[in-house]
Amino acid sequence: MIRFVSLGPGDPELITLKGLRALQQADVIFCPATAIKSLVGGKDSFSSRAAEIVRALGIKEECISLFHVPMSRDREKARRAYDQLAVEVNRARRKRLEAVVVAEGDAGFYSSIHYLFDKLRADRIEVEQIAGVPAFIAAGATAGLHIVKQTERLLVIPGTATAYELISQVKEGQVVVIMKLSACQAAVRTCLATHPEFLYYYFEQVGTKDERRVTDPTQLMSMTFPYFSLLIIRKPEE
Ligand code: SAH
């Protein structure tokens, strides 16, 4: 059985007990890592927020195995990386090792690792997905928000939104969560400039020491949103 463990958004305490137990029982834990280009022309190094969470939970270093996920818009590169990872996961399985694959936030929520899950399942390998806290839920909690109430509807958008879509959906009364905010900076700026009366809750690096929250539209207008940021927008109450 290959377990896919959701780690939560960054605060190690936001993993589930079930997820933690799966990590503690694992012989090998595959953690996604991104490359940091060497400025001096040497070898690239790798950084893995997932591995940092796993370490903070007291898991032994020798269980951690990093795999590189290219952060390119060319999904084919990521697909090849996951195909390679499938080979490694299968190798661990054949050695009868308990293998776990981790994902930040929830493993079934905008998580490219799901490609590997689907691939293993298609190959009739037993897989299990363990639920976790998605970043926007943790973000809401840090700000004490009631994200949706009563009959309100929630719309989660992955950064492909246009300004027109954003504005009309918020005006209709939907609460909008924008993930991958760095991919729609211009649309968000237009929304901020034309509708400063909307309520904006911006979150960066939730659950880490670099966590940041901004609600002032003017301040948000001047910012560049990094990859690990999200925005919740709603209409003010009438
Ligand atoms: N599986 C994750 C989502 C991965 S998609 C989840 O369940 O939350 C990546 C996007 O998630 C980022 O672009 C950002 O919008 C959001 N995100 C993930 N972790 C975050 C964090 N700690 N703080 C703010 N946004 C985060």
**Mutation probe of ligand 1 site: the residue of 230, 231, 232 with most atoms within 8 A of C-beta:** 230
Mean pLDDT value across residues 28-56: 87
Q: Is the pLDDT of residue 75 over 90?
A: no
**Mutation probe of ligand 1 site: the residue of 14, 71, 229 with most atoms within 8 A of C-beta:** 229
What stretches of 72-196 show up as alpha helix (H) in DSSP? 75-94, 114-122, 135-142, 163-171, 185-194
Residue 154: which residues within 8 A CB-CB, separation 6 or more?
147, 148, 174, 175, 176, 177
The confidence score (pLDDT) of residue 39 equals: 66
Give nearest CA residue, ligand 1 atom 2. Answer: 105
The confidence score (pLDDT) of residue 103 equals: 97
Mean pLDDT value across residues 24-39: 89
Q: Are 175 and 149 in contact (CB under 8 A)?
A: no
Residue 112: which residues within 8 A CB-CB, separation 6 or more?
69, 78, 82
Instruction: Write out pLDDT tens, residues 167-223.
Output: 999 999 999 999 999 999 999 999 999 999 999 999 999 999 999 999 999 999 999
Q: How far is the CA of 135 from the centre of ligand 1 (A)?
A: 5
Residue the block writes with tokens 């590169």: 77
Mean pLDDT value across residues 99-115: 96
Rounded-to-integer distance, Cα 45 and Cα 210, Å: 21
Q: How far is the CA of 179 from the centre of ligand 1 (A)?
A: 7
The confidence score (pLDDT) of residue 97 equals: 97
Listed range (20-24, 68-72, 194-198, 226-230) with the worst mean pLDDT: 68-72
Q: Where is pLDDT greater, at 181 or 237?
A: 181
Give nearest CA residue, ligand 1 atom 9. Answer: 180
Q: Where is pLDDT greater, at 45 or 11?
A: 11
pLDDT bin (cut points 50, 70, 90) of residue 224 is very high
Q: Give the three-state DSSP class for 79.
A: helix
First to last CA, the chain: 52
Ligand 1 atom closest to residue 230's alpha carbon, by position in its atom list: 15
The confidence score (pLDDT) of residue 88 equals: 96
Q: Are 175 and 232 in contact (CB under 8 A)?
A: yes
Q: Where is pLDDT greater, at 161 or 51?
A: 51
Residues with CB under 6 A from ligand 1: 9-10, 103-106, 109-111, 134-135, 179-181, 203-207, 227-230
Give nearest CA residue, ligand 1 atom 17. Answer: 228
Q: Give the three-state DSSP class for 229.
A: strand
The confidence score (pLDDT) of residue 145 equals: 97
Ligand 1 atom closest to residue 207's alpha carbon, by position in its atom list: 22
Ligand 1 atom closest to residue 9's alpha carbon, by position in its atom list: 22
Listed range (39-48, 84-93, 139-148) with the worst mean pLDDT: 39-48
Q: What amino acid is encoded at 50 in this protein? A: A
